[in-house]
Amino acid sequence: MRALLVSYAFPPVGGAGVQRVLKLVKYLPRHGITASVLTASDPSVPLLDASLERDIPAGTEVLRARTFEPGYRTKKLAWQASASAADSIASRLKRGLVGLGRSLLVPDPQLLWLPAAQRTLLGRLRSEHADDAVLISGPPFSQFLLTALVRLRPKTAVVLDYRDEWSTTASAFEMSGSARVSAQLERAVLRGAHAVTTATDEFRSALLARFPFLDPARVIAIPNGYDPEDFRPDLPAPPPDRFILTYAGTVFRLTSASGLLNAVRLLHERAPDLARLLEIRFIGRIVDTEEHYFHGSEALGIRRLGYLEHTRALEMLAESHAVLCILDQVSGVERIYPAKIFEIMQLGRPCLALTPEGALATLVRRHRLGEVIAPRDSEAIAAALSRMLRAFRDGNPTLTPALIDIGRFDRRHQAGQFADVLRMAVARARA
């Protein structure tokens, strides 16, 4: 079987968003499916990580289509202008222009990739290399609009893969367009899909509740996971002279660290000797709207390391005594867990999960990964940090997670699940 995977972000683009499709390209051939990729040749993205390209099997066909988006720096400046509270004529004009752009670029700015992507996809569908199935992975969800084009070719299946939830993305991510229009588009593209995959059971339940016309048998939850081959056997151990707590991922509205940073300040006020043992590392991008929470935090042992290559980020997680997983109190967050949680599982480091009740809290408790605390309860977070630091100071070993039933999150196993979905979708398309 031949499958074309459509993903706007693909190596050398970096970040967690590329891992799901990248690992499918790597492991689908083990399950009898030849995978090719359609992606952007010049994506407007904040992060690059060429080291991820080593996971692309030799001979993989990667089709790259250019986008008409402005560069990421320009988009970032536009987003900053829209968030500014300045009342000058120039500021109001900038906000108006950004608002107009958002109203036109629905569901997201990557809509400007579609003309070239459509042309490339159409050529593929007409060629002798036409695929049995096309899997489209979002976000960005403008890619899902390619569904109609694929359906023009009889017996080619379309699978829509939700790495995140469309409605949550529309309300929480930078530069999202009209949520109302997005919902109408989502309904339309779902009617054209032969199968749908979601990253959580909670996503699946919400999707079926919102769109009753969907056949539950064609909506399958396949979580994100970890690749055992990413973890070399000689990963470093935590140092003995200080307690390292590490967060890896983007810090933005959905993953705001404001509650944690307030807790660290409380700890320094109340137990300065204990607090001096603590070093907290943030690996990844911190968006501008979250920067002000970090002002003066260097004096509190906070280190902002920026984006690191995936291999280096795993090394720094390994040399941590505990790791952070953060989801702030945002609408829809109860159906989410960050992809990084599965690599945390494989590393076996205790997890301090700052999250509302929901999918992440359930996952952490079910697999006994660590402690769950509400993300804005600074008092409870400070108390948890104090317990960790006292145990470290007194020479008591940090508790090791039980890691119950984590094999189901192995990327090799999940590629087999996707292969089953693709075959089911093709059978349905041909019927």
The two tokens of residue 137 are 């992975």
> In 3D, which of 69, 72, 78, 9 has the Cα closest to residue 46?
72
Residue 176, C-beta contacts closer than 8 angstroms, at least 6 positions apart: 102, 107, 108, 169, 170, 182
CA distance 8 to 77: 22
The two tokens of residue 171 are 């309300």
CA distance 45 to 39: 13
Q: 199 near 168, Cβ under 8 Å? A: no
Give me the pLDDT at residue 59, please: 95
CA distance 212 to 39: 32
- pLDDT tens-place values along the chain, 431 residues long: 999 999 999 999 998 789 999 999 999 999 999 999 999 999 999 889 999 999 999 999 999 999 999 777 766 665 555 555 556 665 556 555 555 455 556 788 899 999 999 999 999 999 988 999 999 999 999 999 999 999 999 899 999 999 998 876 655 444 445 567 778 899 999 999 999 999 999 999 999 999 999 999 999 999 999 999 999 889 999 999 999 999 999 999 999 999 999 999 999 999 999 999 999 999 999 998 899 999 999 999 999 999 999 999 999 999 999 999 999 998 889 998 898 999 999 998 999 999 999 999 999 999 889 999 999 999 999 999 999 999 999 998 766 676 677 888 999 999 999 999 999 999 999 99
H helical segments located in 16-131: 19-27, 72-83, 89-104, 114-126
The two tokens of residue 257 are 């660290």
> In 3D, which of 338, 343, 364 has the Cα closest to residue 352?
364
> In 3D, which of 335, 351, 366 has the Cα closest to residue 199?
335
Q: At what angle do helices 378-393 and 258-270 cross, to 10 degrees?
A: 60
Collapsing DSSP to helix, strand or coil, 373 comes out as strand
Quick one: residue 59, left, alpha or beta (phi over 0 = left, psi -120 to 50 = alpha)? left
CA distance 248 to 65: 30
Identical fold, 2-225+410-430 and 229-393: yes
Q: Cα separations (Å) of 240 from 246, 349, 387, 397?
A: 16, 15, 17, 11
Read off the amino acid at residue 137.
Answer: S
Residue burial 376-388, b: 16+ Cβ < 10 Å; e: rest: bebeebbebbbeb
CATH of domain 229-393: 3.40.50.2000
CA distance from start to end of the chain: 17
Domain definitions of the chain by residue range: 2-225+410-430, 229-393
The two tokens of residue 18 are 């590329």
CA distance 57 to 41: 19
CA distance 351 to 247: 10
DSSP state of 60: -
CA distance 24 to 373: 33
Number of H helices, E strands in the chain: 16, 13
Quick one: residue 322, left, alpha or beta (phi over 0 = left, psi -120 to 50 = alpha)? beta
CA distance 95 to 81: 6
The two tokens of residue 309 are 């290559």
CA distance 400 to 269: 29
3-state secondary structure 272-304: HHHHCCEEEEEECCECHHHHHHHCCHHHHCEEE
CA distance 230 to 311: 7
CA distance 91 to 367: 49
Give me the pLDDT at residue 404, please: 72
**Statement: the pTM of the whole predicted model exceeds 0.75:** yes
CA distance 104 to 314: 40
Give me the pLDDT at residue 100, please: 47
CA distance 192 to 194: 7
Return the CATH architecture of domain 2-225+410-430.
Answer: 3-Layer(aba) Sandwich (3.40)
Q: If 0-12 CB within 10 Å is exposed, 13-18 middle and 19+ buried, where does residue 127 land?
A: exposed
> In 3D, which of 59, 65, 67 has the Cα closest to residue 25?
59
Quick one: residue 113, left, alpha or beta (phi over 0 = left, psi -120 to 50 = alpha)? alpha
Length of the chain: 431
